[in-house]
A and B are shown apart, each in its own frame.
Chain A
Amino acid sequence: MIEPVRIGFYVCHCGTNIAGMVDVEAVAKYAAKLPGVAVSRNYKYMCSDPGQELIQQDIKEHGLNRIVVAACSPLLHERTFRTATMKGGLSPFFFQMVNIREHDAWVHTDGAEATRKALALVRAAIKRVPFHKPLEIKRVPIHPDVLIVGGGIAGIHAALTLADGGKKVYLVEREATIGGHMAKFDKTFPTLDCAACILTPKMSQVNAHPNITLWTMSEVAAVSGYVGNYEVTIKRKPRYIVEDLCTGCGECVEACVYREPRFADEFNEGLGKRKPVFMPFPQAVPPIVVIDPGTCRVWTATNGCKKPCVDACGDRKAIDFGQKEELKQIKVGSVIVTTGFKTFDASRLPYYGYGRYSNVYTALEVERLVNASGPTGGEVVTRKGKHPQTVGIVHCIGSRDENTNKWCSRVCCLYSLKLAHLIKEHTGAEVYNFYIDMRTPGKSMEEFYNRIAGEGVHIVRGKVADVFPDPSDPEGDRLLLQAEDTLLGRVLKFPVDMLVLATGLEPQADAQDVRRMLNMSCGTEGFFLERHPKLAPVSTFTDGVFLAGCCQGPKDIPDTVAQAGAAAAEAYSLICRGHVEQEPNTAYVREDDCSGCKSCVPLCPYTAITFVEDTKKAVINEALCKGCGTCVASCPSGSIVQNLFEDEEIYSEIEGILAND
């Protein structure tokens, strides 16, 4: 402690955010009388330039050597005031922040109680701040390479943005091809431009780009390290095709012992068939085949297979049935997570009959049906091969529902309108859209709705309650939808030949594993949580890890691409800075007090603590320490100190909080 302590105390009104609940003048008056306080002021907006200058001026004029600001959350403005303290000529760590907005004014209803709480919190900070030390900021270099997890449109766009800027990118995709959900779509709303036409050129660019290392059929297996210096293990599943040797000629597919495709084609949502060796779809990237060990006779037949595919491949020797799972180690400075979404499983709502009645489809299945490269060549026919005369589309399947998912999936109203248009265009059928509320926010979206409504699509406000086979149809193909038209106030029965369920968007099934690996947070619905909903929408709580696309929440393609660009820019900015400043909250051992009991050694999750046999003392490697403080709390002799969270600092805080007011 330097003597004598001269504290400058400032309480912020934050307009009326704080001053409306907490009596800020009383707080300032009270603080003025506390020991060590030389200046005590209240000011309208402490984070404003004049507010910060006030601190700097006071430091000089009044010879202050400690600063306490009572305002909002330190997670928001600690950095601002540390900088102001530093500009005033003090160590930035001679500062302590008191949260009287998020933790006080905004959550309490009684002004007197809120003020009393503010006094206690202020007292704690004023008691704490004399113990602060002028710590040094650590600078850590940033590795310039970036890992992007997920090769949908978000991952593709982020990868190209960074790679075009000259940065090396690893793009890791779980499936055999990049493209994600967008590759399966036929047209995109509101412009109705063809999804493949705008996506596939970007996919080929990824494949050809010298700065992008593309690993498909790969997953992130483990992540260690910290911002600027992540070490990542990538698991590469066997494709049974040597990527560099395969030319994508497809002769092996022709030669396969299965003369006809007979296995459900994943890319076509099971509506089409493929062979065990197949190209995921014509424009797949990388443009090479893949062998599915689950259906290939080499594994499934007891007497094996003659492997005509290998003969067909001939000298190229691209087929390798001996391929094993591979682990790759890479070093990157930042990670962009673009793992996307999965669609709601419509069979969870049995009353819509998905999986039970063959004429009930999910929207994604219909995307494939209307697609010219889909299983029917773009012909909209039911599973029995009939052309539907009437089609029902039900919005909000697994969205805005207390029993399934509470959130609005944001894209379903618009893609349902799009599908209505496409089905009408392809078949001339009468299309009925059943909606709860028509949600068409965003540029040109309402206009799109009006356009589709004007095309003669029947738009019915009401939720379909039940679906059952029409008893009057001898073949049992037609379905009856029972729905209340809430605008007419009548319950109606609609006969349809085809029912489309507009399934909502959900977090990926293994989103939690990804979250744990990268130390991110999730919202209650399971989407990854951004650092700040408005001001840090693509950052996470882990420095150097960024988000884009639907893994953060449902959104359409324009928003996804915008986010991907933003995430790339964040990563780019980090790389260009070249280094990060790290919070000096690491721990160290006071050797004189260490008894050499070793109890701290196994506690450290980062193996930062070693026991030195010569001196019989524990030593903490500062470079490895992340500053959790677990060892500090468990040292029996109290010989470990955590910077910024020293025992004295916390005890004085406790004392301040509980002192009688």
Chain B
Amino acid sequence: MTDKPWEPRIVAFFCNWCTYTAADLAGVSRMKYAANIRTIRLMCSGRVDPQFIMDAFAKGADGVLIGGCHPGDCHYGEGNYKMLRRYRLLQRMLGDMGIEPDRLRLEWISAAEGDKVKSVINDMVEKVKALGPLDLPGQFQSWDREVMTEAEALAHAGHQEAK
């Protein structure tokens, strides 16, 4: 399947109570959306460790979507607010790293909003498609190569000096 044209891969973290249920509802209602999304179910958006997001990017995700309950509606009271704070910090950090803001998205989707699951996913896929591949694993390889060449050059120079 590697000869297929590039399609973005988006990892989604959905909370069990609102967004995951909304995605189930979208399914039951046979709404149609882009197949680029792969969902991981968590109990609460508050469980989303920023490292999960970084790890997803590092392993080749082109985008990460987090879905939680609307503010004030969190099944656990305030887990979604905790996620919101992390999200804001992370957005800044990702910007510094050259990762475009559209690649990370946080959305409040209640259990009744199956249509919002559809529209958010379609919109995000479109935006990430426009950005093109992130390909951090590829980047890592090329950085590794750079470092290796530099190290080799240094070692070579050192060798010459010792001579």
Q: Which residues of A contact B (CB under 8 A)?
A: 73-76, 99, 101-104, 106-110, 113-114, 116-117, 120-121, 124, 515-516, 519, 521-524, 529, 541-542, 585, 603, 605-606, 626-630, 632-634, 642, 645, 647, 650-651, 653-655, 657-661
Whether A74 and B41, one on each chain, are in contact in the complex, defined by CB atoms closer than 8 angstroms, is: yes
Q: Which residues of B contact A (CB under 8 A)?
A: 1-2, 7, 9, 11, 16-18, 20-21, 23-24, 26-28, 30-35, 37-44, 46-50, 52, 55-56, 59-61, 72-73, 75-79, 82, 86, 110-113, 118
Whether A658 and B2, one on each chain, are in contact in the complex, defined by CB atoms closer than 8 angstroms, is: no
Whether B32 and A107, one on each chain, are in contact in the complex, defined by CB atoms closer than 8 angstroms, is: yes
Whether B46 and A628, one on each chain, are in contact in the complex, defined by CB atoms closer than 8 angstroms, is: yes
Whether B78 and A645, one on each chain, are in contact in the complex, defined by CB atoms closer than 8 angstroms, is: no
Whether B43 and A524, one on each chain, are in contact in the complex, defined by CB atoms closer than 8 angstroms, is: no
With A522-B112, A653-B40 as contacts: A630 and B32 at CB distance below 8 Å: no
Whether B35 and A651, one on each chain, are in contact in the complex, defined by CB atoms closer than 8 angstroms, is: no
| Cβ of A343 to closest chain B Cβ, rounded Å | 23
Residues of B with C-beta under 8 A to A627: 43
For the complex of A and B, 5 pairs with smallest distance between CB atoms = A102-B27, A629-B47, A630-B46, A628-B76, A605-B77
Q: Which of B38, B39, B112 contacts A524, CB < 8 Å?
A: B112
With A124-B40, A650-B40, A657-B40 as contacts: A110 and B52 at CB distance below 8 Å: no
Whether B82 and A603, one on each chain, are in contact in the complex, defined by CB atoms closer than 8 angstroms, is: yes
| Cβ of B80 to closest chain A Cβ, rounded Å | 10
Whether A642 and B47, one on each chain, are in contact in the complex, defined by CB atoms closer than 8 angstroms, is: yes
Whether A101 and B59, one on each chain, are in contact in the complex, defined by CB atoms closer than 8 angstroms, is: no
| Cβ of B16 to closest chain A Cβ, rounded Å | 8
Kindly report which residue of chain A lies nearest to residue B20, judged by CB atoms: A75
Residues of B with C-beta under 8 A to A108: 32-35
Whether A113 and B35, one on each chain, are in contact in the complex, defined by CB atoms closer than 8 angstroms, is: yes
- Counting chain B CB atoms within 10 Å of each CB, which of A116, A628, A634, A651 scores highest? A628
Residues of B with C-beta under 8 A to A101: 27
Return 13 A-B CB contacts under 8 Å, by A number: A102-B26, A106-B30, A109-B32, A117-B35, A521-B112, A524-B112, A585-B43, A606-B76, A628-B47, A629-B43, A630-B82, A657-B9, A661-B1
Residues of B with C-beta under 8 A to A113: 7, 35
| Cβ of A642 to closest chain B Cβ, rounded Å | 7
Whether B47 and A106, one on each chain, are in contact in the complex, defined by CB atoms closer than 8 angstroms, is: no
Residues of A with C-beta under 8 A to B23: 102-103
Residues of B with C-beta under 8 A to A647: 49
Kindly report which residue of chain B lies nearest to residue A635, judged by CB atoms: B49
Q: Which of B1, B9, B49 contacts A633, CB < 8 Å?
A: B49
Residues of B with C-beta under 8 A to A117: 35, 37-38
Residues of A with C-beta under 8 A to B47: 628-630, 632-633, 642, 645
Whether A628 and B24, one on each chain, are in contact in the complex, defined by CB atoms closer than 8 angstroms, is: no
Residues of B with C-beta under 8 A to A660: 2, 60
| Cβ of B12 to closest chain A Cβ, rounded Å | 9
| Cβ of B100 to closest chain A Cβ, rounded Å | 19
Q: 20 more A-B contacts (CB under 8 A) besides A521-B21, A633-B50, A633-B82? A: A75-B16, A99-B41, A102-B27, A103-B27, A113-B7, A113-B35, A120-B38, A121-B38, A124-B38, A521-B112, A522-B112, A541-B17, A541-B75, A628-B44, A628-B47, A629-B47, A630-B47, A632-B49, A645-B43, A657-B40
Residues of B with C-beta under 8 A to A642: 43, 47
- In the bound complex, how far is the Cα of B20 from the Cα of A107, in angstroms? 14
Kindly report which residue of chain B lies nearest to residue A106, judged by CB atoms: B27
- In the bound complex, how far is the Cα of B11 from the Cα of A75, in angstroms? 20
With A541-B21, A627-B43, A651-B52 as contacts: A116 and B79 at CB distance below 8 Å: no
| Cβ of A14 to closest chain B Cβ, rounded Å | 12
- Counting chain A CB atoms within 10 Å of each CB, which of B7, B38, B39, B61 scores highest? B38
Whether B110 and A629, one on each chain, are in contact in the complex, defined by CB atoms closer than 8 angstroms, is: no
- In the bound complex, how far is the Cα of B80 from the Cα of A314, in angstroms? 58
- In the bound complex, how far is the Cα of B61 from the Cα of A120, in angstroms? 12
- In the bound complex, how far is the Cα of B43 from the Cα of A605, in angstroms? 14
Kindly report which residue of chain B lies nearest to residue A541, judged by CB atoms: B17
Whether B79 and A106, one on each chain, are in contact in the complex, defined by CB atoms closer than 8 angstroms, is: no
Residues of B with C-beta under 8 A to A628: 43-44, 46-47, 75-76, 79
Whether A630 and B79, one on each chain, are in contact in the complex, defined by CB atoms closer than 8 angstroms, is: yes
